[in-house]
Structure 1
Amino acid sequence: MSLNAIMNTASSGLATAQTQLRVVSDNVSNVNTPGYVRKVAEQRTLTSQGMGSGVEVARIRLATDRFLQAASLNAGAESARQGVRYELYDRIQSLFGDPGGDAGFFSQVDGVFSAFAASAEDPTSSPRRQEALFRTQALFDEAGRIGKQIQAVREDADSRIQSAVERTNSLLEQIEGLNLEIARATAIDGDASGAETAQSALIGQLAELVDIRVSVRPVGGVSIRTGAGTLLAGEGAATLNYSRAGTITGETAFNEIWVTEPGGQRRSLLDSITSGEIKGLVELRDVEAPAAAERLAELVAHVADELNRAHNANSAVPAPTSLTGRNVGQSFESAIAGFSGQTTVAVTNAAGVVQARADIVFSGATMTVNGAAATPATFLGVLNAQLGGTATASFVDGKLSLTAVGANGVAVADDPTSPSAKAGRGFSHYFGLNDLISTDRPAFYDNGLTAASPHGFTAGETMKFRFTGEAGSRLRDLEVAVPAGGTVGDLVAALNDSATGIGRFGSFSLAADGSLAFTGYGNPPPTLSVLEDRTTQVPSGVSVTELFGIGGGVRASRADGFALRSDIRQSPSRLALAQLDPAAAVGSQALSTGDGRGALALADAGERAANFQPAGGSSGGSTSVSRYASELSGEIGGKAAAAKNRKETADALYTEAGARQTAHEGVNLDEELVLMTTYQQAFNASARLIQAAKDMYDTLMGMV
């Protein structure tokens, strides 16, 4: 070997040792830097004509383990998903208060019925009446507040989705920029470890927003796809697009989150991801929060309905001069048809003595008033005739009214052995003649309509529905027009039409009680929501979706629409705590001030079995209001606890995956000390070899 070859071999060793020492120095100086991945300088032997001619550093790379990295990224995405779900659902749970405390929402439900029980002990006590009314109003005020706050949580989630989309776009642009820098360094055999370290940190942040799969490109840098394969970076940066909704209510339909791949292909992001912060926010906004709102609305609606059931069976003393019902959402002929049983409309004076009475016997489409035959079309006229001018009945804008003449009052009572009934409600209750709780929209959807009932909507008016898949992405928006046929059966057929309706995604079915239910096709079935409803019923003014409660948003929006009837709130003496004696003849007393039977009926309203509709994942069924409230209380608390457990489990897995990755990729000072000693010795050996070659040169030159 020539002296020049010796010098070259020693010089290459010296340079390689210097590079290795610089790498070790970088590692040691970043031992406490979060996310730092240690560098590894790979060196190789140089050969010339089959003989060793020194060493060189082939490349400087990061000590990355792709398996551990993938495990950590997946765990980070799931941790972020469960974290936001727990954070926001815990806010929802806190709105209801402590289920076992005296100040919680569910304890207020029991408090209302207890207050009416106290009123029954002394029906003439004004303070007890006021206490019962105060608790009742407070319950519905609290329900309205909780309903609005649930929508506020959804609005917060929607705002955070937009922020997460913007952060994702920024991270993708930075990652793609570093891809170019790494590729340039790789092409010239440069050191790209700094850019790779920065890119690794950005990828970790991205994985917390959406679940991703990372692969190394042959030219340097990485290619990033979502868990379902949508390209996010590697051939350019993808772009996410999302526009927030305006004011968020239970009926808000949110916009799609789109991702445009580098090649220009536009896809739904929700079809491409299964975890990450964005997924968790969407699940909370579109599934969990609406479910809580629907369950709350179903509970509150039945609390109001059962209180109204009892109050409609009662009467104030003296009886009110006028009873005005609520908007039943249909024509009078349709509303009055289908009743069975018997009821009595009585006109009483201030002392509770009957001045006139009309005994009504229902039998489907026919009826009699004091023995006089009537039909749905002639009922009001026959009733007015039988009341003999002491009171009048009218039906305006979907509301039935009974008004006494002069200083008299009017009261309604069902026959005790054969009470009137339609869709599970008595005559007064069905029309809401003496409701205690009023609402500005239809509160229940078992309205007693049949396929032959006229629907009252104008042909050509339209509704627009949206169908979404299991992941929350939009499947299709469909517009359906009110058909020329004027019956409910015609309307249901138009909705179910596979060409012009929603028949490709599911079907509506009309139950015997008049409720309309949607059943989606497939497993899992698509979710239906209402984008727009331009229908208006004559004469009630309600829409198709309001009348039948189509879509969870319509049902959830009921929670903030209930209030104590204004005249009773202003004058507690109008609270109906007595009951009319249906057997009292004209000239006999039918009402007395000391009667507390009506207060007992109000107190027992919470224990009466009611037919709850499916809501928020619950199948519904027959149960009492108190039992339903108890079950909902347990469900809310159970879901919050389950969300906390999922978060803690996901965090633990993320911590473990991160610890294993750090153990492999992080800096170990003991190992670095060994390497530093090794390369220092290698440096010294190369330096001594150079010195020896120099001495040999000097000796040879001295011999010349």
Structure 2
Amino acid sequence: MSLNLALSAGISGLQTSQKGLDLVGHNLANVNTVGYTRKIFNPESRVLNGAGVGVQTGGIIRRVDTGLNSQLRMELGRYTKLETQYTYFQRMQDLFGSPGENSSISHQINDLAQQYETFTLEPDKSTQHLSVTRTIQDLTGKFNRTSEQLQQMRRDADQDIAAAVAEVNAHLKNIDTLNDQITQGIATSGDVTDLQDKRDQELKGLESLMDVTSFERAGGALVIYASGGGTLLDTDPVTLTHSASTSVTAVDSYGGSDFSAISSNGQDITTEIGGGKLAALIELRDKTIPSYQSQMDELAAKLKDTMNEVNNRGTSYPTLANTYDGSTKFIAPGKQTMELTSGDVQISIFDTEGAQAATTTLQTVMGGTGPFTVEAVAAGVQSWLTTASPAGAGLSSATFNYDTTTGTYDINLNSNDYSLAFRDQVGSTAGSTAKDVSIAYDRDGDGTADETVSGFSNFFGLNDVIASDESRAIHDSGVKSANWTPNVNGTLQFSIAGATTATTTSLGTLNVQSNWTLSDIADSINSNSTLSTTLEAEVVQDGEGYRLRIKNLAGDDMEITQAGGTGLISQLGMKTSNAGISGTLALSDTLVDDPARLSSGTVLYDSDTGQYKLSTSDNTTAKEMAKAFQTPQSFDAAGGLTTGQRSLSDYAALSLNQNADEAATISTERDYQKTLVNSLDLKSAEISSVNMDEELADLLTWQQMYNASAKVISTVADMLDVLNSIIR
């Protein structure tokens, strides 16, 4: 070897060892840098014409396991999804409480039942009336707060979605910038390993937000796709868009386009997101929280219907009931009809002593069982009230009026000396056994009954204990599977109030085929040139099933009936929507103004005198109400809970238990996933992180190489000096 080659070999050794020392220093300086991976390179022999002429450096590489890191990112996305769900379930747990806690709805329903038990002992005490009504207000307030907080959580979830989408866009933009720097570095043979570390961290953050797929092109650029196949980053990053809602109600749904879509290049990819934080937030907003809202609404509706049905049977004597404010809405009482299909209604006027002043039956007033228009029944009862002349006093100013603003009926005796009471019984004979009459209600007046209602006073909602801000502008079907079909043809009719009480205005009709799914019906309404101007139909998720929801865009009360039958309506289970009813439950205005109007007794029959009477010690209705809380009710499917017979408190406890079970399951899965992610992270760190011992060992190696190379150069220098002296 010539001295020049020896000198070149020594210099190459110095340069290589210097680079190695620099790399060790770089690794040690980043020992605590998040996402930094250990950088290494291996020296290579440099050969010229078959002879070794020193050493050269290979490319700097990262010590990483790409397969392991890919699995880590995927499992991290699953953990982030569970962590997000866990956070929201903790909030729901705080909201619902547990069945044994005093603040739970189940416990408060039991409290109300116990209040009625006490009420039965002293039905004439004003303090008992007040205690019961206050307990009702506590319970309805709990429903209100629960509904409000559930919708607040949905709003928060939607706003968190917007924040997460912004993070996704930031990650995509950063990865795009790093792509440019990496491809440029590779093209110029530069060191891009630190840039790749940063890009891996950005990708890790992206996959914690949503599930994506990615691959690296030959030039070093990373290409990213959404799980549904849409491109998120190729030459340029795609900007995802989502506008957060400022307020959310129980009837708002993604299916109804009440929430902004997560869009990519104008395409809705919301349903394509299956992992990460975004998937959890979407599921919480559109399925999980609405399911619990649906359960609360089903319970609230059943509580309201049960209590009102019982309270409408009773009387508040010794407090006189000389006014009644109805709650049932009628869009055309001059057209809509009712028919007594069983029993009769005893209509009685009582004086301040509870003695009968006048009495008759509905069949006597109307001349039969009907059908009669609702308007005709009200007019007939009013006519009897004004001519009954109890005890010769007369009630000539008594009214049974229809309020065109509210669509409800009110009764006012316009007298402080008498009270009015209704007693449903099995027959028209005086003293017949008390039992709710059955009323066939024809909503569209086409001659076919659309619904059966129990109780005359209950039919009009004259003596309700619980009110709600109901609107007949929204109707829901029962919960069905995604591919459910009615298996029966039928024509749906949509109508609102007309110019007079005897007319309705048709919004149009829809011929539904037996093989149509809920989506087919919704699409047919929305594509119908007539119906779509006033109606909007959507399919909303409820638990693991779906509901067909039809809205009147103007917000007017409407009726949805079936022409000439009820088969299709019955199959659909179509009725006024309960969505959000739990948020509007309240003690009726009548009882707010006068708690003593709470029903305690009922109309009694004195067989000795052959007359009806009222008694201050009668607790019949109070006992029936106390019993009603323990009696199994028929609940419809809602929020994942199936149809079945359950008591009110049992249903509430079942809902709370489901929430607790789901929270516990998610907590367990979250803990397992956290352990798995930590294990994978540790394994990745064992491969990729900087190890002080390894770096010190390399430091000694490079130092020895540096010393050896320096010795070679020193020796060559001495030899050159000797050679130079000889030449001289």
Measure, in 2, the Cα distance between the counterparts of 1:383 and 1:53. Answer: 119
Answering whether residue 387 of structure 2 is matched by residue 389 of structure 1, we say yes
Q: Which residue of 2 aligns with 1:687?
A: 710
Question: Residue 359 of structure 2 aligns with which residue?
Answer: 357
- CA 1:77–1:484: 2 relative to 1, 3 Å: closer
Deviation at 1:249, TM superposition (A): 1.1
- Report the counterpart of residue 325 of structure 1 in structure 2: 326
Shift of 1:431: 2.1
1:576 aligned residue: 599
The percentage of aligned residue pairs carrying the same residue is 25
1:420 counterpart = 2:437: yes
CA contact (8 A) 1:70 1:214 kept: no
Question: 1:341 maps to what in 2?
Answer: 343
Q: Which residue of 2 aligns with 1:237?
A: 237
1:212-611 matched pairs, under 5 angstroms = 212-252=212-252, 253-260=258-265, 266-318=266-318, 319-332=320-333, 333-334=335-336, 336-337=338-339, 339-360=341-362, 369=365, 372=368, 374-377=370-373, 378-387=376-385, 389-390=387-388, 392-397=399-404, 398-404=407-413, 406=415, 407-415=417-425, 416=433, 419-422=436-439, 423=452, 425-441=454-470, 456-457=495-496, 484=508, 501-502=521-522, 533-534=553-554, 536-537=556-557, 555-581=578-604, 588-611=611-634
* Distance in 1 separating the partners of 2:131 and 2:632: 26
SS in structure 2 at match of 1:615: coil
* Equivalent position amino acid for 1:356 in 2: A
- More displaced stretch, 427-436 vs 390-399: 390-399
Preserved contact between residue 6 and residue 716 of structure 2 (Cα < 8 Å): yes
Matched residue SS, 1:249: coil
In structure 1, what is the equivalent of residue 57 of structure 2?
A: 57
Q: Distance in 2 between matches of 1:386 and 1:452?
A: 40
Q: Distance in 1 between matches of 2:206 and 2:475?
A: 46
> Does the aligned pair in 1 maintain the 2:467–2:587 contact within 8 Å?
yes
1:126-179 deviation digits (Å, cap 9, x = unpaired) = 222211111111110111011111111111111111111112111211111111
> Map of 1:52-131 to 2, 5 A cutoff?
52-131=52-131
The answer to whether the aligner puts 1:7 opposite 2:7 as a matched pair is yes
Amino acid at match of 1:246: T
Match of 1:544 in 2: none
Give the CA deviation at 1:29: 2.3
Q: Offset at 1:587?
A: 7.7
How far residue 74 of structure 1 moved from its aligned partner, in angstroms, is: 0.8
1:338 Cα deviation from its structure 2 partner: 7.0
Report the secondary structure of 2:139's partner residue.
Answer: helix
Q: Equivalents in 1 of 2:677, 2:582: separation in Å?
A: 39
Q: Distance in 2 between matches of 1:660 and 1:576?
A: 71
Alpha-carbon distance in structure 2 between the residues aligned to 1:16 and 1:614: 75
Matched, 1:188 2:208: no
Unaligned runs of 5+ in 2: 253-257, 389-397, 426-432, 440-451, 478-488, 499-504, 527-536, 561-570
| SS of residue paired to 2:470 | coil
Rate the CA distance shift 1:22–1:420 in 2: closer, same or farther, 3 A.
Answer: same
Q: Please give the alpha-carbon distance, in whole angstroms, between the structure 1 residues aligned to 2:283 and 2:678.
A: 24
SS at match of 2:71: helix
**CA 1:503–1:240 in 2, change beyond 3 Å: closer, same or farther?**
closer
Query: Which digits, 9 at most, give the CA deviation of each residue in 1:434-483, with x for residues without a partner?
Result: 10111120599899xx9899753379xxxxxxxxxxxxxxxxxxxxx965
Q: Are 2:40 and 2:61, in contact at CA under 8 Å, matched by a contact in 1?
A: yes
1:678 matches 2:711: no
Task: State the SS of the aligned residue for 1:224.
Answer: strand
Please give the secondary structure, in 2, of the residue aligned with 1:56. strand
Q: CA deviation at 1:402?
A: 3.6
**Residues 643-683 of structure 1: CA deviation (Å, up to 9, x unaligned):** 22222222222111211111111112222222222222222
**What's the counterpart of residue 476 of structure 1?**
none
- What is the TM-score of this pair, normalised by structure 1? 0.83
CA contact (8 A) 1:321 1:410 kept: yes
Distance in 1, Cα, partners of 2:408 & 2:606: 28
Q: Distance in 1 between matches of 2:538 and 2:693?
A: 67
Does 2:661 match 1:638?
A: yes
Q: In the TM superposition, what is the alpha-carbon distance from 1:97 to its structure 2 partner? A: 2.4
Measure how far apart 1:553 and its partner are.
12
Does the Cα contact within 8 Å between 1:482 and 1:494 map onto a contact in 2? no
Return closer, same or farther for 1:529/1:30 CA change in 2, 3 Å cut-off: farther
Is contact 1:299-1:629 (8 Å) kept?
Answer: yes
Superposed displacement of residue 557, structure 1: 1.2
Residue 44 of structure 1 aligns to a residue in which SS?
Answer: strand
Trace 1:24-39 onto structure 2 (pairs within 5 A). 24-39=24-39
1:565-623 deviations in Å (ceiling 9; x for gaps): 12212322211101112677998342101111211112122122322222112223332
Whether the 8 Å contact between 1:609 and 1:625 is mirrored in structure 2 is yes
Q: C-alpha root-mean-square deviation of aligned residues, in Å? A: 3.7
Q: TM-score by structure 2 length?
A: 0.81
Q: Give unmatched runs, 5+ long, in structure 1.
A: 261-265, 362-367, 460-480, 507-516, 541-547
Deviation at 1:43, TM superposition (A): 3.8
Question: Which amino acid counterpart does residue 173 of structure 2 have in structure 1?
Answer: E
> Would you say the 8 A contact 1:498–1:504 is kept in 2?
no
Instruction: Find the aligned partners of 2:680 and 2:575 in 1 and give their Cα distance.
Output: 40
For residues 316 and 165 of structure 1, do their structure 2 counterparts lie closer, same or farther at Cα, with a shift above 3 Å needed?
Answer: same
Aligned-partner residue type, residue 262 of structure 2: I
Runs of 4+ in 1 over 6 A off after TM superposition: 443-447, 450-454, 491-500, 517-521, 524-527, 548-553, 583-587
Shift of 1:207: 2.0
Any idea what the Cα deviations from partners look like across 1:304-341, whole Å, max 9, x if unmatched?
Answer: 21111110111110441122221335433535247533
**Matched-pair contact (CA < 8 Å) for 1:309–1:429:** yes
The amino acid of 2:495's aligned partner reads G
Name the aligned partner's letter for residue 358 of structure 1. T
For 1:322 and 1:561, how far apart are their aligned partners in 2? 24
By how many angstroms is 1:81 displaced? 1.0
Q: Helix, strand or coil: the match of 1:556?
A: coil
Q: CA deviation at 1:27?
A: 1.4
- Where 2:400 maps in the other structure, the secondary structure is strand
1:46 aligns with 2:66: no
CA distance in 1, matches of 2:384, 2:515: 43
Contact 2:242 2:262 in 1 (8 A): yes
The code of the aligned residue for 1:349 comes to D
In 2 relative to 1, CA 691–531 (structure 1 residues): closer, same or farther, beyond 3 Å? Answer: farther
Q: Decide whether aligned partners of structure 1 residues 500 and 620 sit closer, same or farther in structure 2, where only a CA change above 3 A counts.
A: closer
1:417 positional shift: 6.1
